Amino acid sequence: KIEGQITADDIDQLTEHFPLCMRHLHKKLREDKHLKHYGRMQYNLFLKGVGLSLEEALRFWRMSFSETNDDQFQKKAYAYNIRHNYGMEGKRTNYSPLNCMRIITNNQPGEGDHHGCPFRHFSEANLSHTLHNAGVTDKVQIRQIIDYVKGHHYNIACTRFFELTHGGSKEQGMMAAINHPNEFFEKSYQSSQE
Ligand code: SF4
């Protein structure tokens, strides 16, 4: 797939290449059929970076908010905000997908929020559980990632997670630290095409 060819229907399948922050947002969107403001913004801008056109993004969000009627979808400005992220409303700024630094440091998630970075914002128990579910089952490897988190090295923890879940790069420190969720996606997607 290349930019412009990804459709709303492809997203479920592509999540296997998403970093934990975006997998979490996708999971919660599917469970709750809703995401709060910053979650929508973080995920929508990421999906834009993955290659979803504005038209497909609107279709994706409309389908995902399956328990929201059309009237509410318009009234609550969901469609407006999606178009806004694509630079089609307001000041018409063509917003870039958020990098890890912004996700980690800005707009700390509160009760009911699902945006942010799991390495920064999850409890140790929740992060261990999430890593296990994502395929890192070795206790020593989970401990190593938790130790990076405790040292505030969130990007190194995320990069180590990438290495451990992408065969062939099991050696620690073989790749440069990932600093952007879209970089994680692109590296993962490319490795599946090789
Ligand atoms: Fe997402 Fe970046 Fe956190 Fe990885 S380090 S989970 S890409 S915000």
Instruction: Please write the tens of the pLDDT for every residue from 148-158.
Output: 999 999 999 99
Going by pLDDT thresholds of 50, 70 and 90, the confidence category of residue 123 is very high
Question: 21 CB less than 6 Å from ligand 1?
Answer: yes
Half-sphere exposure of residue 174, counting CA atoms within 13 Å on the CB side?
Answer: 11
Among candidate residues 172, 179, 98, the one with its CA nearest the CA of residue 141: 172
Q: Which amino acid is at 83?
A: R
Question: 157 CB less than 6 Å from ligand 1?
Answer: no
| Rounded percentage of the chain residues whose pLDDT exceeds 90 | 82
Cα-to-centroid distance, 123 and ligand 1 (Å): 15
Residue 167, number of CB atoms within 10 A of its CB: 8
Ligand 1 binding pocket mutation candidate from 18, 21, 130 (most atoms within 8 A of CB): 21
Ligand-binding site membership of 42 (annotated): no
pLDDT of residue 75: 83
- 73 CB burial (10 A radius; 0-12, 13-18, 19+): middle
Ligand-binding site membership of 100 (annotated): yes
Ligand-binding site membership of 167 (annotated): no
- Check residues 149 and 1 and name the one with the higher pLDDT: 149
Overall average pLDDT of the 19-29 stretch: 98
Q: Which amino acid is at 31?
A: E
Quick one: tokens of 105? 């440091």
Q: Ligand 1 atom closest to Cα of 116? A: 8
Rounded CA-CA distance 130/114 in Å is: 14
Going by alpha carbons, the residue nearest to atom 4 of ligand 1 is 158
Among candidate residues 128, 106, 104, 126, the one with its CA nearest the CA of residue 117: 104
3 has pLDDT over 60: no
Cα-to-centroid distance, 120 and ligand 1 (Å): 9
Going by pLDDT thresholds of 50, 70 and 90, the confidence category of residue 172 is low
Interface predicted TM-score (ipTM): 0.99
51 has pLDDT over 50: yes
pLDDT of residue 1: 47
pLDDT of residue 5: 84
**Contact call for residues 61 and 34 (beta carbons, < 8 A):** no
Going by alpha carbons, the residue nearest to atom 7 of ligand 1 is 181
- What is the residue-averaged pLDDT of the chain? 93
167 has pLDDT over 90: no
pLDDT of residue 33: 97
Rounded CA-CA distance 115/82 in Å is: 16
The tens digit of pLDDT for each residue in 88-108 reads 988 888 899 999 999 999 999
